[in-house]
Structure 1
Amino acid sequence: MKYIKKILTIEKVKVRDIAKKFDTPTYCYSYNQLKKNINDFKKNFESFSPLICFAIKSNTNVNLIREIKKFGLGADVVSIGELMMALKAGINPKKIVFSGVGKTSKEIAYAIDKKILLINAESKSEIKEIDRIAKNKKKKVQIGIRLNPNTDANTLSQISTGKKENKFGVNEKTFLELVNYCMGSKNISLKCLSVHIGSQILDHKPYEKMLNVIDKIIVKTKHNFEFIDLGGGMGISYGDNNRKLNYTKYNIAIKKFLKKHSTKIIFEPGRSIVGNIGFLISKVIYIKENDEKDFVILDAAMNDLMRPALYGANHKTLTSIKTNRKSKKTYEFVGPICESTDKFASLKNFQKLKEKDIIVMCDVGAYGMSLSSNYNVRPKPAELLIEESKIRIIKKRQKHKDLM
């Protein structure tokens, strides 16, 4: 996304033209940015060719997943719905891993029937249930055990998953017990040690600590793991924060680990693949003047983009046409939903706005539409994939009659 002669464009398409033709709010995705992200990710780790399983939870648009699949990626799923979506998108079952703490018996049975690569189990009870179902089906099931490495990812508490107080994975003592349990089962094949320490991680050091924990526990198990699933969590730059994860140092740490352990690495990136490809186009309905600040009321709301309300997330906000006129007051960008948390940003020295102006919120490709809802009986936005000057509708706008 960039300004060309003060006109904001996504690839070669003007934002104001998108708003005029497709209405607002609308999600747009840049195909060329998607392509760049995937190729860059592969290049960062090309020395050991990991299996890259896209985290479906970050963006559940089946047509977008189809495009991601064309680059050879697999899928990380956390529900039967996500597994169905991955399969519908044409992803090879042998490139699918099923994560999550609360898989039901129905979900486990479905995953076994679809012959996916791995079910990453997170408790003794879950492994026993996998064992029981596999026995009934007379099948041997490949599983991983998720270790909780008690590693602080230095990220938001809401998206931390690798500390001992988090619900995910098992501690070292339980992990060792479960390895022994699996060795005694005729219906379980223990293939993987799995970890995932959090999301939006911008520092390589927590990953280094995580690898040290894994290294020590593998030695204790004396088990040959075919796969080590390192999860995802790689962060992106939001707003004007240009902090980035040092992939070079993370790559060095993994290569050092692989000198000691002959195994295939699995990654589960989501945000780093689709985060910065997405833009939410919205229109100013009203500007409500106030003493200290003016409320810019948009037609997009927290049901369309939940991250600011859920995490206090900041998304860079741009206008479709750039001018040099600045507002003297702070603008608070809000939606029409009846919640005080329905707000996106408070910005000083923002460009002077008027009603019906077009606004764009950036970097919404991950956990934008996938966290959206129909709260206040609001239909979900359309989704568009833009490549150069070509626009493709990859999901139609919902209509009120769809919700009735």
Structure 2
Amino acid sequence: MKYSKENFLIENVRAEEIAKKFGTPCYCYSFNKLKDNINKFKKNFSSINPLICFAVKSNTNSKLLNEIKKFGLGADVVSVGELMKALKAGISSKKIVFSGVGKTSEEIKYAISKDILLINTESQSEIFEIERIAKSLKKKVNIGIRLNPNTDAKTLSQISTGKKENKFGVDEKKLIDLVAYVKSSRNLGLKCLSVHIGSQILNHKPYEKMLKVLDRVIKKCDHNFDYIDLGGGMGIDYEGVNKKLNLKKYAQAIQKFVKKYNSKIIFEPGRSIIGNTAVLLSKVIYIKKNSQKDFIILDAAMNDLMRPALYGAKHRILPIKKLKQKANKSYEFVGPICESTDKFLNVNNFQKLNEKDFVIICDVGAYGMSLSSNYNMRPKAPEILIQGSKFKVINKRQKLKDLI
């Protein structure tokens, strides 16, 4: 995705053409960027040969999941709905890991019936419930146990998952007790030790610290795990300053770790696979001037892209047509919803905008559409997949009459 002269292109298609044809707001994905991300991820970790389970919560579009499946990826799911979506997209049940702290009995039964690879458990109560269900079905169910390593990922507090105050996983002492219990169970097979310390991580050092904790805990457990699930959390460059996680250094640390244990590594990437594949096209409805700055009121809102309102995330905003004139305007880009948090970004030195101009909100492939809602009775935006000079609708715009 780049400018060609003054026009913003998504692969070989002008973004303005898509905006005019399908209206705004509108999500647009680049197939080749998706392909490139997957291939780079595989290449960086080729020495480890991991099972890569795409985090479905980051993007639940069935057509995109089917494309991801074609590259050999599995799925990490956190609800029965996501599990159904993954299976419908053609992802093998033997490449699906079911995570999450609050799986219901019905969800557990469904997962067992589909014979998925693993149910990653997060509490003693959940293990007891799975054992009860497995016993009633006269089955042996393969599970993992998630460790909370008390490791600070140095990311946003709202997306930190690996510290002791977070709700995820069990502490070291509890894990050792649970390992002993599961090993003695006739209806449970202990296959995996799981960990996930947070999201949008751009420094390999928290991962190295996490691996040291895992090393210590595995020795204490005295159990050979078939799988070590290292979760995901790899960040992307939202700010456009080329700040990236050093995957090679992370891979080297994992190589040293796996030499000690005959375990297969599982990854659960979401954002690093899909995040920078998409942009959200939007139109300027009004420009509201005041003494300090101009408010650019867009037709996209917090229901279309929740991340800025939810935890202050910043997504770059670009004009759909780049002008040669000097960029010196101060704008606050906001949505039309009746909430003060319905705002996207404050920008200095932006080129002059006019009402009805189009803009691009960048890097919205992860937790963009999947977090969207019908708040204020607003229909959800369409999704368009672009490959080369071709494009196709992979999710139609909702119609108001269907909502009402």
Name the TM-score, length of structure 2 as normaliser. Answer: 0.99
Q: CA deviation at 1:241?
A: 3.1
In structure 2, relative to structure 1, the CA distance for the partners of 1:132 and 1:17 (3 Å cut) is same
**What is the one-letter code of the residue matched to 1:353?**
L
Q: CA deviation at 1:296?
A: 0.5
SS in structure 2 of the partner of residue 260 of structure 1 = coil
Other-structure match for 1:183: 183
SS in structure 2 of the partner of residue 109 of structure 1 = helix
**What is the one-letter code of the residue matched to 2:170?**
V
SS in structure 2 of the partner of residue 197 of structure 1 = coil
User: Quick one: distance in 1 between partners of 2:316 and 2:204?
Assistant: 25
SS in structure 2 of the partner of residue 142 of structure 1 = strand
Are the aligned partners of 1:292 and 1:329 in contact in 2 as well (CA < 8 Å)? no
Task: Spell out, residue by residue over 1:290-326, the C-alpha distance to the aligned partner (whole angstroms, 9 max, x if none).
Answer: 1110010100000000011111111111111111334
Other-structure match for 1:150: 150
Are the aligned partners of 1:162 and 1:197 in contact in 2 as well (CA < 8 Å)? yes
Are the aligned partners of 2:315 and 2:361 in contact in 1 as well (CA < 8 Å)? yes
User: Quick one: distance in 1 between partners of 2:65 and 2:288?
Assistant: 40
Gaps of 5+ in 1: none
Task: Spell out, residue by residue over 1:223-274, the C-alpha distance to the aligned partner (whole angstroms, 9 max, x if none).
Answer: 0000000000000000233211011110110000011111000000000000
Are the aligned partners of 1:76 and 1:98 in contact in 2 as well (CA < 8 Å)? yes
SS in structure 2 of the partner of residue 392 of structure 1 = strand
User: Quick one: distance in 2 between partners of 1:328 and 1:176?
Assistant: 60
Are the aligned partners of 1:303 and 1:374 in contact in 2 as well (CA < 8 Å)? yes
Other-structure match for 1:21: 21
**What is the one-letter code of the residue matched to 1:197?**
I
Aligned pairs for 1:235-250 (under 5 A) are 235-250=235-250
Aligned pairs for 1:263-278 (under 5 A) are 263-278=263-278
Q: CA deviation at 1:401?
A: 1.4
User: Quick one: distance in 2 between partners of 1:183 and 1:348?
Assistant: 60
Q: CA deviation at 1:328?
A: 4.7
Aligned pairs for 1:35-50 (under 5 A) are 35-50=35-50
User: Quick one: distance in 1 between partners of 2:191 and 2:20?
Assistant: 52
Other-structure match for 1:299: 299
Aligned pairs for 1:384-403 (under 5 A) are 384-403=384-403
Other-structure match for 1:361: 361
**What is the one-letter code of the residue matched to 2:396?**
K
Other-structure match for 2:337: 337
Do residues 61 (structure 1) and 61 (structure 2) align?
Answer: yes
Are the aligned partners of 2:328 and 2:351 in contact in 1 as well (CA < 8 Å)? no
Indicate the percent of aligned positions where both proteins have the same amino acid: 71
Aligned pairs for 1:178-257 (under 5 A) are 178-257=178-257
SS in structure 2 of the partner of residue 359 of structure 1 = strand
Other-structure match for 2:8: 8
**What is the one-letter code of the residue matched to 1:75?**
A
Are the aligned partners of 2:143 and 2:189 in contact in 1 as well (CA < 8 Å)? yes
User: Quick one: distance in 2 between partners of 1:72 and 1:231?
Assistant: 18
Other-structure match for 1:317: 317
User: Quick one: distance in 1 between partners of 2:171 and 2:221?
Assistant: 13
Other-structure match for 1:30: 30
SS in structure 2 of the partner of residue 107 of structure 1 = helix
**What is the one-letter code of the residue matched to 1:376?**
N
**What is the one-letter code of the residue matched to 1:176?**
I
User: Quick one: distance in 1 between partners of 2:73 and 2:166?
Assistant: 29
User: Quick one: distance in 2 between partners of 1:246 and 1:142?
Assistant: 33
User: Quick one: distance in 1 between partners of 2:326 and 2:112?
Assistant: 59
User: Quick one: distance in 1 between partners of 2:328 and 2:83?
Assistant: 50
Other-structure match for 1:280: 280
Q: CA deviation at 1:217?
A: 0.8
Q: CA deviation at 1:330?
A: 1.4
Aligned residues: 404
SS in structure 1 of the partner of residue 253 of structure 2 = helix
Are the aligned partners of 1:303 and 1:375 in contact in 2 as well (CA < 8 Å)? yes
Do residues 109 (structure 1) and 91 (structure 2) align?
Answer: no
Are the aligned partners of 2:94 and 2:115 in contact in 1 as well (CA < 8 Å)? yes
**What is the one-letter code of the residue matched to 2:117?**
L
Mean Cα deviation higher: 326-335 or 278-287:
326-335
**What is the one-letter code of the residue matched to 1:349?**
N
User: Quick one: distance in 2 between partners of 1:45 and 1:15?
Assistant: 34
**What is the one-letter code of the residue matched to 1:162?**
G
Task: Spell out, residue by residue over 1:54-78, the C-alpha distance to the aligned partner (whole angstroms, 9 max, x if none).
Answer: 0000001011000000000000000
Q: CA deviation at 1:327?
A: 5.8
User: Quick one: distance in 1 between partners of 2:303 and 2:241?
Assistant: 25
Q: CA deviation at 1:329?
A: 4.1
User: Quick one: distance in 2 between partners of 1:203 and 1:58?
Assistant: 21
Q: CA deviation at 1:344?
A: 0.5
Other-structure match for 2:374: 374
Other-structure match for 1:140: 140
Other-structure match for 1:121: 121
User: Quick one: distance in 1 between partners of 2:202 and 2:105?
Assistant: 36
Are the aligned partners of 1:155 and 1:200 in contact in 2 as well (CA < 8 Å)? yes
User: Quick one: distance in 2 between partners of 1:326 and 1:374?
Assistant: 38
Are the aligned partners of 2:329 and 2:352 in contact in 1 as well (CA < 8 Å)? no
User: Quick one: distance in 2 between partners of 1:331 and 1:5?
Assistant: 24
Are the aligned partners of 2:48 and 2:251 in contact in 1 as well (CA < 8 Å)? no
